[in-house]
Structure 1
Amino acid sequence: MTSDPLEPVLEAVRAAGLGTLSLDLSGVRDKAALMDRCARALELPEWFGRNWDALADCLTGLGRAPGERGRLLVVSGWQEYAEAAPQEWIVAQEVFTDAVAYARERGTGLEIVLALGTRP
């Protein structure tokens, strides 16, 4: 039994042929920290410029492993950032939304969800 309440959902997603990525924003309070966390968690390329346009480019270019129908990115721990930097959080959500829309238009299968609550 896992202590992560999202694990059963992630297992079901993987069973459906989607890869999963996690972005835990716990402790993130500003844009610089958000960009650093994205770079590490999503293993973004060295050219990632740590700005909104570069994040959008990287999200729309997230590859998927052979045999995967797409990817699900689960963003958790985002509430602290949303409270500390509400305008930046609005922009981040727009970047996420645009990346998903771009992926849907091209059939590349990226979905991004914001997890409510906290993860262990």
Structure 2
Amino acid sequence: MRHMTPPHSRPVRYTAELHLDGVTDKAGFLDRCARDLALPAWFGRNWDALADVLTDLSWWGPRPQEYLLRVHGWSAFRRAAPHDAATAAGILTDTETYWASRGTPLTVVLDPLPAPPPG
């Protein structure tokens, strides 16, 4: 009997967590993105570079069926830096649109609720 190797399937979901606690400006936001999302070395720490890196997610590994980005501390960041938060929100919205049009949804959840306790 011949054994067949199953086709490699795409991972179901890639989830990333972005923690904005203590972030009060653009530089802090971009630095935190670089750290928490493990952005590639070519990330230029400006808005255009953030848009570029979020529309080329090859650095996150094999392309999954969907992406999920949980952003913690968004409300406090938006209060501290409303203009920077508006720019970041626009980039995140554009990123969701970009990936949706390519058949691999990317969902951004701002200030997600904490996970329920186990049990």
Q: For 1:111, which of 104, 107, 111 is the aligned residue?
A: 107
Of structures 1 and 2, the larger Rg is shown by 2
The structural deviation recorded for 1:84 is: 1.1
| More displaced 10-residue stretch of structure 1: 61-70 or 83-92 | 61-70
TM-score under structure 1 normalisation? Answer: 0.77
Q: Please give the alpha-carbon distance, in whole angstroms, between the structure 1 residues aligned to 2:37 and 2:63.
A: 19
1:1-120 mapped onto 2 (5 Å cutoff): 17-63=12-58, 65-66=61-62, 68-116=64-112
Q: Please state how far the C-alpha of 1:23 moved relative to its aligned partner.
A: 0.3
Secondary structure of residue in 1 paired with 2:108: strand
Give the structure with the larger helix fraction.
Answer: 1
**Percent of paired sites with the same residue:** 47
Indicate the RMSD between aligned Cα atoms, in angstroms: 2.1
* Structure 2 Cα separation of the partners of residues 104 and 117 of structure 1: 24
1:27 and 1:62 map into 2 onto residues whose CA distance is 26
User: What is the count of residue pairs matched by the alignment?
Assistant: 104
Q: Which runs of 5+ in 1 are unaligned?
A: 1-15
AA aligned to 2:67 is R
Structure 2, unaligned runs of 5 or more = 1-10
State the secondary structure of the residue aligned to 1:106.
Answer: coil
Structure 2 length normalisation: TM-score?
0.78
Q: 1:67, 1:31 → 2: CA distance?
A: 29
